[in-house]
Chain A
Amino acid sequence: MPQLRLTGRGLWITALIVPPLAFVALFVVYPIISAFAYAFFDWNGLLRGEFVGLDNFHTVLFVEPYASWTRNAFSHNIIVFFALMVLQNGLGFFLAYALWRELPGARFHRIAVFLPVVLSTIIVGYLFKLFLHPLFGVVNISLRGMGLGELAQPWLGQSSTALWALIAANAWHMVGFPTLVFLAGMQRIPTEMLDAVRMETRSEWVKITKIVWPLVAPSATVVFVLLFVGAFNWFELPYVMAGLDGSPFGSTDVLGLYFYRTAFGNVSSGQQDFGLGSALAVLIFLFIAAVAGVITVRLRAREIQL
């Protein structure tokens, strides 16, 4: 590679690098740094007030009613994360294992499992909202048609089922992503390694736990981290299916909705607080960064070098 001298080439490199750098600096790095700074000020609506130190953090964590809203939303995010871990990523691993055998039609199954992933969350949300309508939704209509009318219920209208309906919709939407990432990981396992295990055992379970899982750990790390970040950023699906206030009775409230409501105002209360919103954003951000870091380190440690 040629060395940089203070000639026309230096100018050329500058011209190549500065515009993209400016974009990322202005619209990614500056806003993220500012979000931290904003959390230390008192904002009434759109005007910045005085420096209040850690007051905003104290309010969202310890002062009622904010503290119980925070706890409620956070506990739902935890449920969503673990449920999707089993439903979406667990099923994804299982489907990848099934697709890996390249049985007849595997290509078609692969295309089908990824199709929902390319749809927008808004479309998926409304589609499932229509399906789950108490009267006109296909779910209840078919339950009644099968003589199981007593199982028909207002899925999104009652606290006991609403969050689970959203989780199911999300799993349907995204299961193709972990499936194909895991499948790509499995396809790179050397055949000799599998042959060696086959001599030792016929147990699928041993094969999965001793060979397949350790070897797809690099893929698993990425899939887990993305699921974690996604679960704690969850916004569009609950917004469309259940509403900005996490109805009914806050049973579908999550940190993403709570943060947006605090910052940009609740339809009913009309309140807008950039300081509290920023404090929430910073807390969510630090939590995501810390846990994602731990997942990465723990899973990477299990990885076997090929």
Chain B
Amino acid sequence: MSTVTSTYSDRPGLIATLGRDGLIQIILIANTFIMLAPIVIMMFSAFKTTPQIFASPFGIPDFTNLVNFSRIWTQTNFLQYLINSFVVTGASMALILTLGTMAAYALARYEFFGAGFILMFFIAGLTLPLKLAIIPLFMLMRDLGILNNQLSLIFVYTAMGLPTTIFIMTGFIRTLPNELEDAARMDGASEARIMWSIMLPLVRPAMVIAGIQNVVPIWNDFFFPLVFIQNDRLKTLPQGLTTFMGEYSTDYGVLYAGLTLSALPIIIIYIVLSRQFISGMTSGAIK
């Protein structure tokens, strides 16, 4: 969020102002408490035994008690799920950013027949809920022989992520000046060379925004693995979590530890990069 823009506070009189701002401050603190409490309870409970959770659900636990975590590490496929999520998300992001930059660059930097139509074609994909096309997608993946294969997820996520990426990046690339390119062209640089050496370093900010906007929904997705992946060794983290929650349905400490471990990677990244995350994830909705 930019801080240069207008900040609005009213001053009709000292007491009235203090009263109103004080009330708002209390509401904000209460809301923040409601937002954080479930996450804190989850993390605390991960260090407790089931009887402890029952006896003192809000008590501060013994943080050296790592029994629940070690059981997850040694007795379940959790690590495998985590690795699968990294592989699928990483491969999808690499494809989205590569293909998205290619298309956005061509659409923003060259004039050619059908460019407007092609951009419309990409943008049309923005609003369509692809979940509803799951039956044809399932048949398509079956025909391609990649059901129960992580390629099916990577392909779908890439196709889903491209419209937003192309939309964001085309807009951004159009704002860049073309003096540098023209100069390089005069010097006889090839088109590929101009794109690689001159434009790519300049489009990095747009790539970060597009990256954040896609990485969260892909990392968190549950629906497509549910349909495409059966083999437990290939499951992603959200999907593996359902298996895990079923297996340990009575051991509350282990359940909370599993949720904590699944949530931790994205919570840490979010806290470190909160500014980029917030602007990246809300930028599609703000024009």
Interface residues of A (CB under 8 A from B): 1-4, 8-10, 12-13, 16-17, 19-21, 23-32, 34-35, 38, 46, 95, 98-106, 108-123, 126-128, 130-131, 135-136, 138, 141-142, 172, 176-177, 180-181, 183-191, 194, 198, 202, 218-219, 222-223, 226, 229, 233, 235-236, 240, 256, 259-260, 263-264, 274, 277-278, 281-282, 284-285, 288, 292
Contacts and interface: CB of A to CB of B under 8 A. Distances in A.
Nearest to A32: B133
A189 to B, nearest CB: 6
Interface of B: 1-2, 5-10, 12, 21, 24-25, 27-29, 31-32, 34-36, 38-39, 41-42, 50, 53-54, 57-58, 95, 99-100, 102-103, 105-107, 109-113, 118, 121-122, 124-125, 127-140, 142, 155-156, 158-160, 162-163, 166, 178, 191-192, 216, 219-223, 227, 237-239, 241-242, 245, 252, 255-256, 259, 262-263, 266-267, 270-271, 274, 277-278, 281-282, 285-287
B38 A28 contact: no
A111 B118 CA distance: 38
Given A12-B191, A118-B267, 18 more contacts: A19-B99, A21-B118, A27-B137, A28-B159, A28-B163, A98-B24, A101-B7, A110-B278, A114-B270, A119-B263, A122-B238, A123-B259, A126-B259, A130-B255, A130-B259, A141-B54, A177-B282, A191-B6
A297 to B, nearest CB: 14
Given A119-B263, A194-B6, A219-B286, A27 B159 contact: yes
B268 to A, nearest CB: 11
Contacts of A12: 191-192
B5 to A, nearest CB: 4
B24 A281 contact: no
A281 B103 contact: no
A120 B238 contact: yes
Given A16-B106, A181-B285, A138 B41 contact: yes
Contacts of A236: 222-223
Nearest to B22: A103
Specify which of B2, B38, B54, B100 lies most central, judged by the most chain A CB atoms within 10 Å of its CB: B38
